[in-house]
Structure 1
């Protein structure tokens, strides 16, 4: 992975209709030019085993290639859980004599998973002791073509695909306090295909003005065949999705002064079977150079179609769901500290989601909420202190509520805090100590009804030692103080979980 770009809130017209709450863009295509071979293996508690091999290097003066393969397996980290996955990744890039570049990315994965069903109360409360069984195979790929036309103009074409085959069997959930009928035994076979095509043009109109615009088309096709095993017999169901979405977008950036940048964008989305949606975004970045203070303010609108799962799932799906929309406000102040060795950031946000798609525990179905609001703030800091010591931390507050009922959103803690201490001792040894605090959270299951999960504090330790230039040895201890907690109702987190890793570089 080369980089990760994070955009908060509905502030990106380019990233698409799914950017209702923000986007995370993983940049993985750069395979480098230095030949490297890596082999890594790790083992841990609960029969955790992982193997990974990666080859990177130039094929010719104009072409580079990266291929990796991995196998991961986890036993019962939580009672009833089992995970197995094998994955192959590849990416390549070819540099044209015209100055353009063609990049290819591909991924194949195949695996199995088992766990207690959602809403069952997990190993702690489930009445039926059998587990869900899933077989999942996914394929994804993309090709991009970048071509500079002049000093001011650049064109880009992107084509991508995603395919998923999911076979699932569930024992169901016994009747309980929240639902006197429970969930019947069921099975489903789901096939989903998505193809995207984008065309961009970016230009520098003036030395202080940049504009990017483009068109996008998305085609989706999915089928879900299900069986519900009722006392009266077997009920079969089928859901088919064929959906095409077209969009056009434009974003611009203007820097009228050396310390001021203004950004804005607009997007028109034309989804099949729904009305055309227009969304806008606007942002300002101001820098006070003497102190290094940076102020950022953003406003944006978002739009998202119901996902295939929310529409098609035989148990909780709802084919009548409507698209979600959102409005987001955010302001942040970043201040360098300790002569530039550290940095602090304070962020405030206020987001409103309309027709938000959510799971209704009373109806046992996905529904559109009239409005969901989330507001709060975040404080973060990092400091590179004495010699090789590095500290970072973050504390966030978010109050998320359903407007029509005033209830807090399930599985959303109000407070969350993290801190990390990293120490580099000489050149071949490093240590990393991480702490996490999560506030109480509302959750629910069929056997228990609504319950408040206790807050918790957990700590993780990682050590890394490089005895030789081509050998790397690591040890990690998750939850090394043995905290007892539940992230999901009825699924108690494992205790102390040690892992050992060895890596060879050639």
Structure 2
């Protein structure tokens, strides 16, 4: 459990801020409970990064953006285009559901998400909802949900950015409104020579891996909405990206091609007491490993349909319900499986209460995954608004993650055997939170406890000489998150501090690659048409995976961003990442001959400059 003295220090620190600001921070989120609510009414810990913040900080990729959030840590295997795992509150990457405009984008075999291949130029905002959300979203929403909303630009803007490692980025975004029609678009091109992403043993010979690992991303997307007087609003959106990336692999493929897309057709109609919506979506997440004659394809195709309704019983009471159908198809993948496609059918109902003093909600859901049986989940929450500034929330919920078809039905593998009796992973989540939102700023404390049982792991079976997916492990994660956003002494301050105790309950050891303390601090200021900020990120030491049986060192990095509005139409941007040229890594790759741990190199000092023109 989390050390009590640490918890006391954390709470005391959060309550000791003394600052001044002009106004409180008010934001909206539409994804925590799948309908529009004030962020203070969701009874969940929610973080939002909008387009203004993205452009103010000149973020170059999605992992860099996510790594600024309390309770979130990103483990990167290098720079642009390399694998990046996001750990939300200490849970592994597969336990966080990632959506693009509400559409699942993970690889259904591994549960991983190509975060680096989601271009920043396509993002309007990112909503991070923490805690068990399976009762609302279904499988994988164990530690939280990350929903990426695509661009809704109102002005036409063309931008160009150049930077270190021969980096170039060109993008255009815009939109128009004509009577009942709204249309937004975005497209971009990104390319870099990259750098050598893995550390090398200087005592060994130079190989093909002693090279730069480049990356290219080409993308396009649009949002179209048509509003009618009586039939409601119809929408159509799509986002497409393709490209290539290189990495290091001494014995096999060392490059990949990707082609990812989503398309979603939606309808929504509202009356005084009833709002109903329906959507159908198709998506693909495809990654082809290249570099040798033995190419490997990882491909997931999905079709999803959902209908939901929200009925206002009284001013304080709302009822919601609906059903969801999901089809996942892995038949285009190289991995052989006796079952390559599955369906899931789900039904959910919920009740939400808000009398402006007391808040409450309860949602129950049942999912019926083909081959794996039924999973029933729920989430409950209660909140109290002591006054217009102070609110308290308490949440309790359950979640699950369905096994992959590969876990259950893999065939013709030299290394793995199937387990048709594999069961879903299950979790129980509790959270207590306090929010203070005043003219002096916004402050939040969240204390959480998440336990995952029936964790799926590949265990070696000596009788058959292969690994078999088995429900054997149990992990627990407890922690505290402190966040503050305020103005003081003429500067804008954004601070968050997280404490984490993540354990493997089976072996009573700390979970690997999870720092027990993380700290993010951004200090910003504006001078007329010029604004700048400096950001600090600290990660404490943490254990590597058991194979290396060592510790990854703590590190601190600093980044600077600046913007200058020269004309109403023309602006300039700059960003310097890792300004002290700090050498560190967040994942190991092996040992040098002298015993030193080698790892995936983080990018050194990098410079980016750009210009944007509106027309």
1:4 CA drift (Å): 3.9
Give TM-score, length-normalised by structure 1.
Answer: 0.84
Q: Which residue of 1 aligns with 2:485?
A: 382
- The change in CA–CA distance for 1:130 and 1:25 in structure 2 (over 3 A counts) is closer
Q: What is the distance in 2 between the residues matched to 1:424 and 1:371? A: 49
Would you say the 8 A contact 2:287–2:298 is kept in 1? yes
What is the SS of the residue equivalent to 2:313?
Answer: strand
What is the SS of the residue equivalent to 2:156?
Answer: strand
Q: What is the distance in 2 between the residues matched to 1:138 and 1:23? A: 20
**1:330 and 2:428 matched:** no
Instruction: Decide which structure has greater strand share.
Output: 1
- The change in CA–CA distance for 1:132 and 1:364 in structure 2 (over 3 A counts) is farther
What is the SS of the residue equivalent to 1:450?
Answer: coil
Give TM-score, length-normalised by structure 2.
Answer: 0.70
1:418 CA drift (Å): 0.4
- The change in CA–CA distance for 1:169 and 1:315 in structure 2 (over 3 A counts) is farther
Q: Which residue of 2 aligns with 1:504?
A: 613
**1:111 and 2:259 matched:** no
Q: Deviations along 1:172-207, whole A, 9 cap, x unmatched? A: xxxxxxxxxxxxx95312332101100111100111
Structure 2 residue corresponding to 1:45, chosen from 150, 153, 164: 164
Q: Which residue of 1 aligns with 2:394?
A: 297
Q: What is the distance in 2 between the residues matched to 1:459 and 1:315? A: 46
1:129 CA drift (Å): 7.7
Q: What is the distance in 2 between the residues matched to 1:86 and 1:158? A: 27
Would you say the 8 A contact 1:420–1:434 is kept in 2? yes
1:326 CA drift (Å): 0.9
Q: What is the distance in 2 between the residues matched to 1:317 and 1:42? A: 45
- The change in CA–CA distance for 1:421 and 1:308 in structure 2 (over 3 A counts) is farther
**1:87 and 2:196 matched:** no
**1:63 and 2:181 matched:** yes
**1:494 and 2:603 matched:** yes
1:12 CA drift (Å): 5.2
**1:165 and 2:262 matched:** no
1:407 CA drift (Å): 2.1
Would you say the 8 A contact 1:198–1:214 is kept in 2? yes
Structure 1 stretches of 5 or more lacking a match? 118-127, 172-184, 228-236
What is the SS of the residue equivalent to 2:135?
Answer: coil
**1:278 and 2:399 matched:** no
Q: What is the distance in 2 between the residues matched to 1:378 and 1:347? A: 5
Q: What is the distance in 2 between the residues matched to 1:364 and 1:75? A: 38
Q: What is the distance in 2 between the residues matched to 1:365 and 1:288? A: 53
- The change in CA–CA distance for 1:27 and 1:137 in structure 2 (over 3 A counts) is closer
Q: What is the distance in 2 between the residues matched to 1:456 and 1:274? A: 43
- The change in CA–CA distance for 1:54 and 1:222 in structure 2 (over 3 A counts) is same
Q: What is the distance in 1 between the residues matched to 2:469 and 2:453? A: 15
Q: What is the distance in 1 between the residues matched to 2:556 and 2:415? A: 33
What pairs up with 1:338-349 in 2 under 5 angstroms? 340-349=439-448
Q: Which residue of 1 aligns with 2:49?
A: none
Q: Which residue of 2 aligns with 1:8?
A: 130
1:275 CA drift (Å): 2.0
Instruction: Decide which structure has greater helix share.
Output: 2
Would you say the 8 A contact 1:51–1:72 is kept in 2? yes
- Using CA pairs below 8 Å that are at least 6 residues apart, which structure has the higher relative contact order? 2
Would you say the 8 A contact 2:134–2:377 is kept in 1? no
Q: Which residue of 2 aligns with 1:356?
A: 455
Would you say the 8 A contact 1:138–1:162 is kept in 2? yes
What is the SS of the residue equivalent to 1:483?
Answer: coil
Would you say the 8 A contact 2:224–2:235 is kept in 1? yes
Q: What is the distance in 1 between the residues matched to 2:362 and 2:333? A: 44
What is the SS of the residue equivalent to 1:145?
Answer: strand
What pairs up with 1:74-223 in 2 under 5 angstroms? 74-79=192-197, 80-98=212-230, 100-117=232-249, 128=250, 132-148=254-270, 150-169=271-290, 187-223=295-331
Q: What is the distance in 1 between the residues matched to 2:295 and 2:310? A: 48
